[in-house]
Structure 1
Amino acid sequence: MKTVKGPGIFLSQFIGQQPPYNSLAGLAGWAAALGYKALQIPCHDKAIFDLQRAATSQTYCDEITGLLAEHGLAISELSTHLEGQLVAVNPAYDAAFDHFAPAEVRGNATKRTEWATATVKQAAAASAKLGLSAHATFSGSLAWPWFYPWPPHNAALFEEAFAELARRWRPILDEYDRHGVDLCYEIHPGEDLHDGVTFERFLAKVGDHPRCNILYDPSHLHLQHIDYLQFIDCYHTRIKAFHVKDAEFVKNGRSGVYGGYQPWIDRAGRFRSPGDGQIDFNGIFSKLAQYDYAGWAVLEWECCLKEGDSGAREGAEFIRRHIIPVAERAFDDFAAQQDDRASVRAQLGLE
């Protein structure tokens, strides 16, 4: 059995314009002082991490790992959530997502997709040079505007959408396979891979690709009323990354799962700091230990109420408290009997 590694922290929500949040060195010192052991590093901010350099320069990657090692830190994964989103964008969302791309490809969906594809592939090379085994991303979405069956369900539309999604991602998955890195899609509303059924459909379309895996975040499952513990039972062989993020859903008579176009603080379903919501993290960490999850437990801090630094400070201890140091032997080994064949046959009355 394996012990979950942690605590780690996803940096995206903490990058800012002022020290220590405006450089990787500053963020590393800040995270280490809070007790974190790893950083999940986004690839969209060159001031924090230069993905192009990392994809081509082992020297640069060694400098990054050396910098973090000075603070007692490792990298859990790189993240291309924003870039992965742009691999597949329905035209309804062109304007909303265009700012995720560099200026030179905005307004041109074909060039934007080409840029996103190349960038996510670069992250495979960078991950390998950094000695990482997993990478975090989004799938993007072509079918999401029709997530609710009105107008009525159109089987041909979804068949074509998932066939195209697989066509775009298959070469990227092959690139990750070439570099020995698992590509982990965060299962997330707004993405075509937003629950177990959609992941299975995509997985079938890419031929059960060995690098097609899951970033498990229970908050997004809870807010869809999915059994997030049973999800681990179903997909544990594909779960290769893990966000520790809490959520709560409080039923009321005015709005529900879809949120009523309200800000987060007014929704029935809201993200909360770890320990402030409804997620059963004791159950999650037990399941992950049971199934030999060997990756990191990474805080993704999002909360509609609590201030970020407080959430980060509390999150490190929260994760540390939930990690289960797995046993190296069974608790009842002291009472074990000899297991030679003659003894076994004697107990069965066969000798």
Structure 2
Amino acid sequence: MKTLKGPAIFLAQFIRPDAPFNHLDTLAEWASSCGFKGIQVPTIDASIFPLDKAASDPTWCRELKEKLADKNIQITELSTHLQGQLMAVHPAYLPLYSQFAPEAYRKNAQSLHDWAHEQMLMTAEASANLGLKACASFSGSLAWPFIYPWPQRPKGLVEEAFAQLAERWKPILNAFDQADTDICFELHPGEDLHDGASFEYFLDLVDNHPRCHILYDPSHFVLQQLDYLGFIDRYHQRIKAFHVKDAELNCNERSGVYGGYQDWIDRPGRFRSLGDGQIDFNGIFSKLAQYDFDGWAVLEWECCLKDSIVGAKEGARFIQEHIIPVTERSFDDFADSGVSKQQLSLLLGSKNQERL
């Protein structure tokens, strides 16, 4: 059995212009001071993480790892959520998503994809140079505007969307295979890969690719009313990354899972700081221990009520308290009868007892 690693923190929600949140070195120092041992690093902002440098310079990567180790911090995964989003952009979202890319690439969806494709290839190289085994990402979305089947979806629409999605991702998955790194798709509303069924559909189209895996985030499953504990039972072999994020769903007579276009604070379903929501983390950490998940438990802080710094410090303690140091021996070893292999037949009432 394996003990999962942590606590770690996803830095995306904490990057801002003022110190210590404007530089990777000082972010790492702050994370360490909060009690974290690892950081999941976004790759979209070159001032925080120069992806091109990491992809092309193994020496720079080695020195970065040493520098972070001096602060008792290591990189858990690189995040390509925003680049992954741009791998597949429906035209309805083009004005919004295009802002994630440099201005020169914002002219159309194909241009955004081309940029994202190169970013993903660089991330594979950077992950290899850093010795990372997983990368966190989104899948992008072509079919999401048609998530609810009204008006009736034309036959073949979903099939064509997923065929195109798989075609775009296969070369990236192959590059990550060369880098010995898994791509872990965060199953997230807004993405074509948002639940178990959509992930299975995609996995089949990429021929069960050995690098196609899941970033498990139970908060998104609570808001979809999906069995997040049963999900681990079914998909544990494909879960290679873990966001520890809490959520609650309090439907009422006025609105439910769709939220009525309300702001986060007024929605029935909303994300919460760890321990403030409805998620059974005792159950989650127990199942991950049961299935030998040995990745990182990474806090993703998103809460419309609590201060982020408070949420981070509380989150580090929360994760540490929930990590199960797995046992190296069975609790009933003291009662081992010491029966030899030859005596097993005797216990089973074998006809050959006389030979014992």
TM-score interval (norm. to shorter) = over 0.9
Q: In the TM superposition, what is the alpha-carbon distance from 1:234 to its structure 2 partner?
A: 0.7
CA distances 1:6-47 after superposition (whole Å, capped 9, x unpaired): 000000000011110000111011000111000000001111
How many residue pairs align between the two structures?
351
Q: Which residue of 1 aligns with 2:92?
A: 92
* 2:12 aligned partner: 12
Q: Which residue of 2 aligns with 1:117?
A: 117
Q: Take 2:168 and 2:43, find their aligned partners in 1: how far apart are those partners?
A: 20
SS in 2 for 1:155: coil
Three-state SS of the structure 2 residue aligned to 1:161 is helix
The one-character-per-residue Cα deviations of 1:141-174 (angstroms, maximum 9, x if unpaired) are 0000000010113330000000000000000000
1:285 aligns with 2:285: yes
> In the aligned structure 1, how far is the partner of 2:139 from the partner of 2:68?
29
Q: Which residue of 2 aligns with 1:343?
A: 343
Cα shift readout 1:73-92 (whole Å, capped 9, x = no counterpart): 11110000000000000011
Give the match for residue 200 of structure 2.
200
Distance in 2 between the 1:297 and 1:228 partners? Answer: 16
State the alpha-carbon separation in 1 of the partners of residues 23 and 67 from structure 2. 12
Deviation at 1:67, TM superposition (A): 1.7
User: What is the match of residue 157 of structure 1?
Assistant: 157
In angstroms, what is the RMSD of aligned CA positions? 0.7
Aligned equivalent of 2:79: 79
Give the counterpart letter for 1:122 in structure 2.
M
Query: 2 CA distance for matches of 1:259 and 1:212?
Result: 31
**Paired position in structure 1 for 2:219:** 219
TM-score (norm 2): 0.98
Determine what percentage of the aligned residue pairs are the same residue: 60
The alignment partner of 2:64 has SS state of helix
Partner of 2:130: 130
Show the counterpart of 1:2: 2
Deviations 1:73-129 (A, max 9, x none): 111100000000000000110001010011111122212110101101110110010
Equivalent residue, structure 2, for 1:235: 235
CA distance in 1, matches of 2:348, 2:63: 63
Please say if residues 251 and 257 of structure 2, whose CA atoms lie closer than 8 Å, have aligned partners that are also in contact.
Answer: no
- Does residue 54 (structure 1) correspond to residue 54 (structure 2)? The answer is yes
Structure 1's consecutive aligned runs of 4 or more residues displaced over 3 angstroms after TM superposition are none
- Does residue 330 (structure 1) correspond to residue 339 (structure 2)? The answer is no
Distance 1:64 1:224 in 2: 39
C-alpha distance in 1 between matches for 2:342 and 2:62: 57
Counterpart secondary structure, 1:247? strand
Distance across 1 between alignment mates of 2:182 and 2:8: 18
Cα displacement (A) at 1:346? 1.5
Q: Distance in 1 between matches of 2:128 and 2:337?
A: 47
Distance 1:73 1:206 in 2: 35
Instruction: Give the conservation status (yes or no) of the 8 Å contact 2:40–2:75.
Output: yes
* Cα distance in structure 2, aligned partners of 1:242 and 1:139: 16
- Residue type of the partner of 1:192? D
C-alpha contact 2:90 2:109 (8 A) present in aligned 1: no
The separation in 2 between residues aligned to 1:287 and 1:121, in whole angstroms, is 33
In structure 1, the partner of 2:66 is 66
Which segments of 5 or more consecutive residues in structure 2 lack a partner in the other structure?
none
> How far apart are 1:339 and its partner, in Å?
3.8
| Displacement of 1:348 | 1.8
Q: CA deviation at 1:184?
A: 0.3
For residue 40 of structure 2, what is the aligned residue in structure 1? 40
